[in-house]
Structure 1
Amino acid sequence: MATSATPHLVPTPEQLIWQRDGFGVFFHFGVNTFAGKEWSDGTLSPQIFDPTNLDADEWVRLARDMGAKYVILTAKHHDGFCLWPTATTDYSVASSPWKNGRGDVVREIADACRKHDMKLGLYLSPWDRNAPQYEDAEVYDEFYLAQLRELCTNYGPLYELWFDGAGSAGREYAWDRIGALIDELQPGAMVFNMGPATIRWVG
């Protein structure tokens, strides 16, 4: 009995570039850095976020000098603290003493990437332990989409968007809408792990 042949999977040009680039550096930085924690539950005060002599240019330059082609910054980890002055929540750098609340870590990293000809990726955790609306999936989806839109609109071309699955067991996010937003605003970005993923864990 004849069987249909398995179709060949052909990578997109963007996937091939990502594979060939090979090496990137993750900047895992946030409010937890100032509490000596890897993760927190979203209750750390923004007042503890006050880096001294933060040098995004140095970070990116060192990544480049190591041979990396791109960097990924945790714009928001599971604690919900945003490294850019988002309009969606007060739990961000805008409520910190750093630069009198006028700082923007994402902007500084993005500018350094342009200066050093490096590609920029952003990590935006779907799980948010600070957002009170998280328990209402429909309301939270709007909140999350608004954050993603800010990041996809305000910082130039994004090489990769990283959606971590931690804490999300049993929860479905608005992946169709998330994918449509990425297609609209950052069509060349690789998408890691969840939803409309174009790249995944190895193995």
Structure 2
Amino acid sequence: MKPPLDPKKPTEILIGLCLLLSIACSPSKKDLLLAPRSTYDIDKDDNQDSIRLKAAHVVPTENQYNALKDEFIGFVHFGPNTFTAKEWGSGMEDPTVFDLKELDTDQWCEAMKAAGMTKVIFTAKHHDGFVLWQSRYTTHGLMSTGFRNGNGDVLKDLAASCEKYGLDLGVYLSPADLYQIENPLGLYGNLSKKTKRTIPATVKGRPFENQTTFEFEVDDYNEYFLNQLFELLTEYGPIKEVWFDGAHPKRKGGQT
């Protein structure tokens, strides 16, 4: 039997402590099998200890980690509700209620930059279906208002201001669309069948500079949605983030 450590020999004490620490901190066999990942499934044979072990190895993805660095960002949301003083739009609003007289997106971005923000998310279309850019695929938006004689494009102005002030730009595009689904003047609440569609759909007189196309099995409304998403992602400079909302004010016409 090895004699006890001699307290008068500091080197032996140090070696002994290191051995004890190595034993206490050595990973178990299951530890060695786990690698850092963004998700872990909880299996039926997991117990509380193994669940804690998995949780200890969960790390953000690169995109999630980068998003966490955006600790302070701006969110801009206005539309017909700004002028009707309603919490929710119905999709039945006459576009002319959007009575915007002046727009100074430089002022927005200057204020956000001064506050320390790094990015702004812009609501390009909310649940009422009103679009704040010059979309090819609807007339329910700025093109039917008096703002700049129907030629205004809030997103275009904002994209230029973001570039000027060094802010990243993101867009919010609502999958829900009460105008297209519920309004008799809308086009897509028609319970159409899914068929193969080419995105973006060709519109005479308004070609895309970006010639990329995609094929999807979708119904009429989701073709419309994807066409608009293509516009936003290809015609307004770098889009750093995209927001979709899970809200469903009403469900109809394949709007999923």
TM-score, length of structure 2 as denominator length: 0.62
- The equivalent position to 1:49 in structure 2, one of 98, 123, 146, is 98
- For 2:37, the equivalent position in structure 1 comes to 8
**Which residue number in structure 1 is paired with residue 224 of structure 2?**
143
Indicate the SS of the match to 2:110.
helix
Where in structure 2 are the equivalents of 1:9-48 lying within 5 Å? Answer: 9=38, 10-48=59-97
Task: Name the residue aligned to 2:149.
Answer: 100
Structure of greater relative contact order (alpha carbons < 8 Å, 6+ residues apart): 1
**How far has the Cα of 1:168 moved from its partner?**
6.6
Shift of 1:142: 0.3
- For 1:43 and 1:173, the matched residues in 2 are separated by 18
Structure 1 runs (4+) greater than 3 angstroms displaced: 2-7, 10-14, 168-174
Return the match for 1:115 from 161, 164, 172: 164
Report deviation, 1:38: 2.5
- The alpha carbon displacement at 1:95 in A equals 0.7
The 1-side partners of 2:226 and 2:168 are apart by 23
RMSD: 2.3
Structure 2: where are the runs of 5+ without partners?
Answer: 1-28, 39-58, 181-185, 193-218
Count of paired positions = 173
* Match of residue 129 from structure 1: 178
- What is the rounded CA distance, in whole Å, between the counterparts of 1:134 and 1:38 in structure 2? 23
Question: In the TM superposition, what is the alpha-carbon distance from 1:135 to its structure 2 partner?
Answer: 4.7
Larger-Rg structure? 2
CA deviations 1:42-86 (Å, max 9, x no partner) are 111111212122111111111111111100111000000000011
**Match of 2:178, SS?**
coil
Are 1:158 and 2:239 matched, yes or no?
yes
Contiguous gaps of at least 5 residues in structure 1: 175-203
Say which SS state the counterpart of residue 63 (structure 1) adopts: helix
Shift, 1:34, TM fit: 1.1
SS of the counterpart of 2:189?
helix
Question: CA offset at residue 40 of structure 1?
Answer: 0.8
Q: Deviations over 1:9-31 (max 9, x none)?
A: 25343332221121111101112
Check whether the contact 2:176–2:255 (CA below 8 A) recurs between aligned residues. no
Moved more, 106-115 or 16-25: 16-25
Is the 1:24–1:68 contact (alpha carbons within 8 Å) kept by the matching residues of 2?
A: yes
Deviation of the 1:170 alpha carbon: 7.0
